[in-house]
Amino acid sequence: MPTIDDLAQSLSIYLTAEQIAQIRRAYYYAEQAHDGQRRRSGEPYVTHPLAVANILSTMHMDHQSLMAAMLHDVIEDTGIPKEAISAQFGEVVAELVDGVSKLTQMRFETKAEQEADNFQKMALAMAKDIRVILVKLADRMHNMRTMGVMPQEKKRRKARETMDIYVPIANRLGMHSVRVELEEHCFKAIYPMRSRCIQQAVKQARGNRTELVSVIRDAINTRLREHGLEGSVTGREKHLYSIYKKMRGQKKPFSEIMDVYAFRIIVPTVDECYLAVGAVHNLYKPFPGRFKDYIAIPKANGYQSLHTTLFGMHGVPIEIQIRTQEMEEMANYGIAAHWLYKSEEEALIGSHDRTRQWLKGVLELQQNAGDPLEFIENVKIDLFPDEVYVFTPKGNIMELAKGATAVDFAYAVHTDVGNTCVACRIDRRLASLSQPLESGQTVEVITAPGAKPNVAWLSFVITGKARSNIRHYLKHQRHSDSVELGRRLLNRVMVSLNSSLDQVSEERMSAFLEEAQIETLNGLLEEIGLGNRMAYMVARRLVDSTGERKDQLDNSDSQQPLTIRGTEGMVITFARCCYPIPGDPILGHVSSGRGMVIHSQSCRNLGDIREHPERCLEVEWDKNVSGEFTVELRVELEHQRGMVATLATAVTSADASIEKISLEERDARFSMVDLLINVNDRLHLARTIKKLRAIKVVNSIIRTRG
């Protein structure tokens, strides 16, 4: 068992004395923190983090990763808070430790198998720094190595989880040697009998093969020298699990799999890789169609090599892999190899489009990896830039588009949940519905019967499902709002004609509808509400034929103005040119298809509007008008630090709310601030302005109308 001194010794090859001293400090801190704790095997607990750091050192991982490895179980097992780690070892190390702890807390093992893929992605997405994953993999590797003393059932569960989650992650990251070792441990734990069986068979077969292996190796070596190539040739042992997979997957008998002789040739340069292929093809006949060029076209996880299969003597198949030393490191350590070669300008050849977005980023990094520090910065990449993974309260995983909010989540659960949601809890805490979700969060939606979607949601939802459902609902809502307004408009005119809708006979109504080619009364009212038909014209036609007197028809003075209550919904809007609020004299303008727009009588657009008197309507505020109305203020003030915050505080202290602040610098001394605020009425506005005037640097405030 290597000690901290042994580790420090081996680190001196690639780290500075200062960095090694920091790693030592982390080790002693962990030793203190875990004092009294023991591993299942009886050893002091600190041997585990030390071993994890050792694993990472073989990949030449940086000192921060090694410090995090030393401390990786401290938060989880000793209750020392993240802040304490941050104070001792800095923010970066604390973040790494925290990230590893979060992964440790995830109970992947209890989840259904079909969710494994999502869990892998979630684990990756949660780790904002890829080094979190590398520390976690090393942690898991050591735990799997030392699993011997665990009860069989627990071993099996751990192995399943490792197989489902961590093996694929290692594979995604191109970490072949980590993947293979994890697979071997898992295979032994899950299928102890089968693994022992294959192991036995391999042992026997190996005896018979030794001689042939060295004959072939010598032949290849000689041929390479003849071609003037410097290279090393090694025989490759097949791993138990890969033999097992082949036996199952390809339904091949053991003998056929073991019959293949596998070698790897490492040469100094890429050119020599291709020359070496020529040399071995010249030695033994190649198998047609088995040559693969993964150098020109690397695998999605960055793997590069040339593969070929040859007919050896007596027709034995010989599999050959040819690559450079760098490709070898990349094949073994994958993403971690970037730390091995972080300062070298080793460009990848022929990097084609990657299937994985993240890997593309990583490969580009390798190409530009000039400054190691810059590389570390850039390692904080988004592995799944387009997705987030969150939990439902029951622990199921939901995949959503990046930037999705609780409302998107609610609609993803069910349309009814979305339509009636009023609030949400994120990680058990009340949170805003518009807050973008992050991977790993647990999201709970709170619904209320009778609650309705809010038009404002459209400004932050990002999933198609949420958007279309909200739109659909609003459209429906708009329909009933327009019917309601249409009824009020029509009735008002009817009353002024000494009639009412109720007095119109059914025959008369249906005759009218038929003539107008509208199917229902509601359809007619909607048309009126939306401004597509004028209430006055409709009323005249309906009243005319009921035989009522016509002498008052043109006497519009007798019409009571329509009152605006503020609760009409979507068919009445307030003009964004003059921002009328209760208390202002107003005028209604029915615009085709958009319902009624309320303007202030001092609006400068009024001239144009008045040109179509048939579309204008006398309106006034209802005594019981309610709601919030937007109004625009222009504030001139002297520059001062934090002045925008001061303005905002003044507005909210008057119980008004801010919709928008835009700042325009006038000169060195003065600024203009345009404020859009929401108030209830003119009195409320006056109170708010008073608060604003009380600010010392405010010179003037005017209410702007367009």
Backbone angles phi, psi at 318, to 5 degrees: -120, 120
Task: Specify the stretch interacting with Mn ion by CB under 5 A; choose among 131-139, 152-160, 240-248, 654-662.
Answer: 131-139
Nearest to 698 by CA among 627, 649, 629, 625: 649
Beta strands in 448-601 (DSSP E): 562-564, 572-574, 586-591, 595-600
Q: How far is the CB of 48 from Mn ion (least distance, A)?
A: 6
For position 161 contacting Mn ion by CB under 5 A, the verdict is no
Q: Dig out the tokens for 202 from the structure.
A: 């391999």
Helices (H), 164-269: 167-172, 176-190, 192-226, 240-249, 254-258
Cβ closest to Mn ion, residue 146 vs residue 646: 146
DSSP-derived 3-state class of residue 701: strand
Distance CA 160, CA 503 (A): 78
* Those residues with Cβ within 8 angstroms of residue 426's Cβ, 6 or more apart along the chain or in another chain: 406, 435, 437, 441, 442, 443, 444
**One of 76, 484, 548, 674 is an active-site residue; which one?**
76
For position 139 contacting Mn ion by CB under 5 A, the verdict is yes
Task: Specify the stretch interacting with Mn ion by CB under 5 A; choose among 134-142, 214-222, 407-415, 584-592.
Answer: 134-142
Q: How far is the CB of 442 from Mn ion (least distance, A)?
A: 24
Distances (CA, A) of 599 to 368, 574, 584, 631: 60, 7, 9, 12
**One of 35, 43, 77, 364 is an active-site residue; which one?**
77
Beta strands in 198-281 (DSSP E): 232-235, 261-267
Active site residue 77: yes
DSSP-derived 3-state class of residue 372: helix
CB 370 within 8 A of CB 354: no
For position 98 contacting Mn ion by CB under 5 A, the verdict is no
Residue 292, judged by CB atoms within 10 A of its CB (0-12, 13-18, 19+), counts as: middle
Nearest to 401 by CA among 463, 466, 355, 469: 463
Bridge partners (DSSP) listed for residue 586:
600
Nearest to 58 by CA among 95, 100, 26, 13: 13
Distance CA 500, CA 612 (A): 26
Nearest residue to Mn ion by CB is 139
Q: How far is the CB of 30 from Mn ion (least distance, A)?
A: 11
Kindly give the pairing relationship between strand 317-324 and strand 261-267. parallel
Locus of tokens 């519009």 = 556
Distance CA 570, CA 179 (A): 59
Instruction: State the amino acid at position 233 in one-letter form.
Output: V
Nearest to 491 by CA among 396, 574, 563: 563
DSSP-derived 3-state class of residue 56: helix
Q: How far is the CB of 137 from Mn ion (least distance, A)?
A: 11
Q: How far is the CB of 113 from Mn ion (least distance, A)?
A: 24
Query: Using CB under 5 A as the criterion, what x/- string covers residues 52-91 for binding Mn ion?
Result: ---------------------x------------------
Q: How far is the CB of 20 from Mn ion (least distance, A)?
A: 22
Q: Sheet of 421-426: strands edge to edge?
A: 429-431, 421-426, 443-447
DSSP-derived 3-state class of residue 632: strand
Q: Dig out the tokens for 354 from the structure.
A: 């990657």
DSSP-derived 3-state class of residue 333: helix
Q: How many CB atoms within 10 Å of residue 84?
A: 15
Report how far apart the first and last C-alpha atoms of the chain are (Å, whole number): 79
Cβ closest to Mn ion, residue 39 vs residue 541: 39
Angular region, 403: left φ>0, alpha ψ -120 to 50, beta rest: left
Site size with Mn ion, rule: CB under 5 A = 2
CB 178 within 8 A of CB 170: yes
CB 524 within 8 A of CB 518: yes
Instruction: State the amino acid at position 702 in one-letter form.
Output: I
**Interacting residue ranges for Mn ion, rule: CB under 5 A:** 73, 139
Active site residues: 76-77
